[in-house]
């Protein structure tokens, strides 16, 4: 097993580890700048592999920020190993996530980020966008790198299997197939609108945590995903409550 490196936008590197037994991949993203950022740490079990991949791109001890979408083992399991390896690094996470979990879990105090707050990394600008419960987790959020229009979209579009580093092939079908297996997405009335708001950013590239990076029509893919989840929410509501009569 090894971690593959691919540059998906200028100085934004996808670090990808495919776990054959699970037929599933785990990706992290390294933004190399004056203040380098690691988005998603990976599981503790793959820290040696991911650490080695980062070391091929820059000295690990120069990492400045460690961040992730929401608290889960694959998102932040190795956070404290990274803090130990990079003495000047701090964890940055959304305000809610810091309050609920990270203030306690992290070995050093985290930097709480407000919704829409921009981290100035030097030449790059990384904006935190809170997406509570999308795709899951009260503390869920993601990052948009404004200078390259790259949306680091975490678990959105999660797919099973191995994939190329970058693709223009459609990613909504594989995501819905994986959703049928995992049921990982929290279907609520805000799921569709939250994803559609991401489409409004008009990203050029999507960085998936479990799948390829996508360089096709990103806004269309996000709108398609939002519509598919809304259909599923309606179907689930009908299944549970039966058809709802129109309000008179
Ligand atoms: Fe997750
Ligand atoms: Fe994940």
pLDDT tens series, the chain, 248 aa: 999 999 999 999 999 999 999 999 999 999 999 999 999 999 999 999 999 999 999 999 999 999 999 999 999 999 999 999 999 999 999 999 999 999 999 999 999 999 999 999 999 999 999 999 999 999 999 999 999 999 999 999 999 999 999 999 999 999 999 999 999 999 999 999 999 999 999 999 999 999 999 999 999 999 999 999 999 999 988 888 887 666 66
Give the pLDDT score at 248.
Answer: 65
| Spacing, Cα 219 to ligand 2 middle (Å) | 21
| Spacing, Cα 209 to ligand 1 middle (Å) | 9
Give the pLDDT score at 242.
Answer: 83
| Spacing, Cα 136 to ligand 1 middle (Å) | 6
| Spacing, Cα 179 to ligand 2 middle (Å) | 13
Do 74 and 43 contact (CB within 8 A), yes or no?
Answer: yes
| Spacing, Cα 14 to ligand 2 middle (Å) | 14
| Spacing, Cα 242 to ligand 2 middle (Å) | 33
Give the pLDDT score at 216.
Answer: 97
* Torsion 20-60-7-39 (CA) sign: positive
Distances (CA, A) of 81 to 48, 52, 66, 202: 10, 13, 11, 35
| Spacing, Cα 207 to ligand 1 middle (Å) | 14
**Stretch (H or E) spanning 97:** helix 95-97
């Amino acid at each position: 097993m090894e971690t593959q490196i691919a540059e998906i936008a200028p100085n934004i590197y996808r670090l990808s580890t495919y776990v054959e037994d699970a037929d599933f991949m785990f990706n992290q993203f390294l933004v190399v700048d004056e203040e380098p950022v690691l988005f998603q740490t990976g599981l503790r079990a793959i820290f040696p592999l991911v650490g080695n991949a980062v070391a091929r791109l820059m000295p690990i001890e120069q990492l400045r920020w460690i961040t992730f979408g929401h608290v889960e083992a694959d998102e932040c399991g190795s956070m404290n190993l990274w803090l130990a390896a990079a003495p000047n690094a701090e964890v940055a996470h959304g305000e809610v996530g810091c309050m609920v979990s990270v203030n306690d879990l992290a070995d050093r105090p985290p930097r709480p980020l407000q919704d829409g707050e921009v981290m100035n990394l030097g030449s790059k600008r990384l904006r935190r966008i809170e997406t509570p419960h999308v795709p899951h987790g009260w503390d869920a959020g993601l990052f948009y790198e404004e200078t390259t229009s790259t949306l680091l979209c975490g678990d959105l579009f999660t797919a099973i299997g191995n994939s190329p580093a970058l693709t223009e092939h459609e990613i909504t079908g594989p995501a819905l197939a994986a959703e049928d297996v995992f049921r990982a997405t929290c279907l609520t009335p805000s799921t569709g609108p939250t994803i559609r708001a991401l489409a409004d950013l008009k990203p050029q590239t999507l960085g998936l945590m479990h799948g390829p990076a996508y360089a096709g029509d990103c806004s269309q893919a996000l709108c398609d995903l939002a519509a598919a989840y809304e259909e599923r929410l309606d179907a689930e509501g009908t299944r549970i409550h039966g058809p709802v009569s129109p309000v008179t």
